[in-house]
Amino acid sequence: MLKLYFAPDTCALATHIVLEEVGTSYSTVRVDFARNEQRSPEYLKINAKGRVPALVTDGGILTETPAMMVFVAQSRGRPDLALMDDPFAFAQVQAFNAYLCSSVHINHAHRMRGARWVDASDGQSIAAMQRRVPISVGANYELIEHDLLKGPWVMGERYTICDPYLFTVAQWLEGDGVDPKSIPRVIEHRRRVGERAATRRAIAQERS
Amino acid sequence: MLKLYFAPDTCALATHIVLEEVGTSYSTVRVDFARNEQRSPEYLKINAKGRVPALVTDGGILTETPAMMVFVAQSRGRPDLALMDDPFAFAQVQAFNAYLCSSVHINHAHRMRGARWVDASDGQSIAAMQRRVPISVGANYELIEHDLLKGPWVMGERYTICDPYLFTVAQWLEGDGVDPKSIPRVIEHRRRVGERAATRRAIAQERS
């Protein structure tokens, strides 16, 4: 059985929603960031990166959201959720998810995790990075709004793993200083994914 | 036929090597960063992100190295290069590549592309980010050296798309201030990938 290590309001939610979408049996373990559990010796044995999410499987432990979502879809008989039967369509799915993980999520992280990229004592540079977040994340969402999001779902008519992932990172955009009025299609997409039963169940579990 | 837009000394080399490994026919177009061609109106029609690489295929244009490499392998009859027949092994391949694109490459980029994350006029913060690169990239390579690189190839006995990707980003590690003596297995892996005929051909083409 699968076991998902998560923390609320993190990108772990994307894989959590996919677990609900495929209808597999799984359990969850909450990692308490307030107590810095993600850096505890016990958790570092699960994920040496000291972050969430991590997914314990019968074959071993997986990390990295784009990889975990494809694994859940492929191993639970739902490769269609990643359009895996068509190499080009699958590559588009992967390209979108790579953009979320390496651009949107990273730019966002400069608001809360600046000490990854400058010395933790350098408050001036950390503040400078925070001031840039609305611009960098805003530019990411402009591209998604106008070029990447096909509609109604990210890949067009078919719901894929891109949708819960965009939904998840889009939870953070107001906090990042991005004006939701400037990206109405992203906001409408977020509303649409939020209405799905699988999404509601995953969120309810994280909050329980 | 495939067409790869690249610039020398960028992560485009990873896909270039995979194109050589699978032995497909393709052409290349060099994007001149010195003339800022990646931001030209012509190139932005190819890749609205204004970056390399981009891969023109019969079905459309792809970006993002992890997605492009899987596409080349899968569409050219070499899904074994991504261990795609085994969902868990494939997920490990994807997790490794996600780590390179969202952690190693991004941390590296703080040395040359600091203006993505602070105002371009803020030389003090840009310098602060540059000083952090040996630590952040160094920590990434420590993890690769001790936890992720199975040896002799990244995934163990089988050469996969992870290998040219690690080889490519590992070109930058001395410039990032990482001590090669501290990561002998990574350095030995780099040497091993560099000796492959496909790697040599791709590099020769980029330099020609």
Mutation target for A interface from B70, B100, B106: give the one with most A CBs within 10 A. B106
Instruction: State the pLDDT confidence band at B170, using cuts at 50, 70 and 90.
Output: very high
Mutation target for A interface from B58, B70, B75, B118: give the one with most A CBs within 10 A. B118
The whole-number pLDDT of residue B75 equals: 97
Structure tokens at A78: 């739902």
Report which secondary-structure segment, H or E, holds B30: strand B26-30
- Burial (Cβ within 10 Å: 0-12, 13-18, ≥19) of residue A165: buried
**Contact between B64 and A129 using a beta-carbon 8 Å cutoff:** no
- Is residue B44 within 8 A of residue B51, CB to CB? The reply is no
SS3 category, B96: helix
User: What residue of B is the nearest CA neighbor of A64?
Assistant: B95
The size of chain A, in residues, is 208
Q: Taking the model in full, what pTM does it have?
A: 0.98
**Contact between A101 and B105 using a beta-carbon 8 Å cutoff:** no
- Burial (Cβ within 10 Å: 0-12, 13-18, ≥19) of residue A189: buried
The whole-number pLDDT of residue A52 equals: 96
Name residue B51's beta-bridge partners: none
User: What residue of B is the nearest CA neighbor of A102?
Assistant: B102
Instruction: State the pLDDT confidence band at B178, using cuts at 50, 70 and 90.
Output: very high
* Interface predicted TM-score (ipTM) of this complex, two decimals: 0.97
- Is residue B195 within 8 A of residue B189, CB to CB? The reply is no
The size of chain B, in residues, is 208
The Cα of B176 is separated from the nearest Cα of chain A by a number of Å equal to 13
User: What residue of B is the nearest CA neighbor of A58?
Assistant: B88
Distances (CA, A) of B136 to A142, B86, B120: 29, 32, 21
**Contact between A88 and B62 using a beta-carbon 8 Å cutoff:** yes
B154-193 exposure pattern, b = at least 16 Cβ within 10 A, e = fewer: bbeebbbbbbbbbbbbbebbeebebeeeebeebbebbebb
Divide the 208 residues of chain A into consecutive groups of 10 and give the mean pLDDT of each group: 96 98 97 94 95 97 98 98 97 98 98 96 98 98 98 98 98 98 98 98 96
Ramachandran assignment for B64, one of left (phi > 0), alpha (psi -120 to 50 degrees), beta (any other): left
Report which secondary-structure segment, H or E, holds B136: helix B123-143
**Contact between B62 and A110 using a beta-carbon 8 Å cutoff:** no
Tokens 């105002």, located at residue: B119
3 state SS for chain A: CEEEEECCCCCHHHHHHHHHHHCCCEEEEECCHHHCHHHCHHHHHHCCCCCCCEEEECCEEEECHHHHHHHHHHHCCCHHHHCCCCHHHHHHHHHHHHHHHHHHHHHHHHHHCHHHCCCCCCHHHHHHHHHHHHHHHHHHHHHHHHHHCCCCECCECCCCCHHHHHHHHHHHCCCCCCCHHHCHHHHHHHHHHHCCHHHHHHHHHHHC
Q: Edge-to-edge strands of the sheet including B2-6?
A: B26-30, B2-6, B54-57, B60-63
**Contact between B118 and A101 using a beta-carbon 8 Å cutoff:** no
The whole-number pLDDT of residue A147 equals: 97
**Contact between B60 and A105 using a beta-carbon 8 Å cutoff:** no
- Is residue B32 within 8 A of residue B24, CB to CB? The reply is no
Residue A171: count other Cβ atoms within 10 Å of its Cβ: 15
Residue B89: count other Cβ atoms within 10 Å of its Cβ: 18
**Contact between B136 and A122 using a beta-carbon 8 Å cutoff:** no
Taking only the tens place, the pLDDT of each residue in B46-61 is: 999 999 999 999 999 9
Instruction: State the pLDDT confidence band at B37, using cuts at 50, 70 and 90.
Output: very high
Instruction: State the pLDDT confidence band at B197, using cuts at 50, 70 and 90.
Output: very high
**Contact between B95 and A129 using a beta-carbon 8 Å cutoff:** no
User: What residue of A is the nearest CA neighbor of B134?
Assistant: A117
Q: Edge-to-edge strands of the sheet including A26-30?
A: A26-30, A2-6, A54-57, A60-63
The whole-number pLDDT of residue A185 equals: 98
Of B64, B75, B88, the CB nearest to A99: B64
Instruction: State the pLDDT confidence band at B26, using cuts at 50, 70 and 90.
Output: very high
**Cα A187 from Cα B139, distance rounded (Å):** 37
Of B66, B90, B118, the CB nearest to A129: B118
